[in-house]
Amino acid sequence: MNKIYKSNYKVYDFSPQAIYSSIIIFIFEELLKILALSQENILQIKHEKNKSNLNARTIAIVKCLKIKFICFFILSFIFLLFFWLYVACFCAVYKNTQIFLIQVMLFSYLISLFHPFITCLIPGIFRIPALKGPGKCIYKLSQIIQFV
């Protein structure tokens, strides 16, 4: 805020703030993915070998999914309200910095849009040579990069 005020509301440095907000959004996104995605639970039903336990296992997994989805919607709603309140209070107190806030938000949003391209493209680049030749090390490296 001090830099913006001293520059007479003309120059703004995007360096740390937009990157920090992108990292925080990424952490929240990963937490919500754990609650929202149900692929692993469905695969557990699909790969069940014992047919007699299938019905009981399915009921348990459906209960688990219901709890996960309820927690997901409650947490999403709480985060949405908290962030809306934070931005509304910030804009009410710092009326002259609303343009800069919108710029930082757009920059952070663009970073979050390009992040999946980078995280999916780099492991894919390593996997193409691994599939064409005997490259188990390259394939393992691509899996590690994908995990990170």
Q: What is the pLDDT of residue 77?
A: 92
- Phi/psi for 37 (5° steps) reads -80, 135
| Range picked from 21-25, 26-30, 76-80, 120-124 for highest mean pLDDT | 76-80
pLDDT (mean) for 9-23: 65
Q: What is the pLDDT of residue 125?
A: 82
Q: What is the pLDDT of residue 38?
A: 83
10 Å Cβ neighbour count for 18?
19
Q: What is the pLDDT of residue 18?
A: 63
Residue 135 has pLDDT above 90, yes or no: no
Does 122 or 70 have the greater pLDDT score? 70
Give tens-digit pLDDT for 52-95: 788 888 888 889 889 988 988 898 899 889 988 988 888 888 88
Q: What is the pLDDT of residue 119?
A: 77
Band of residue 40 on the pLDDT scale cut at 50, 70, 90: confident
pTM of the model: 0.60
Residue 25 has pLDDT above 60, yes or no: yes
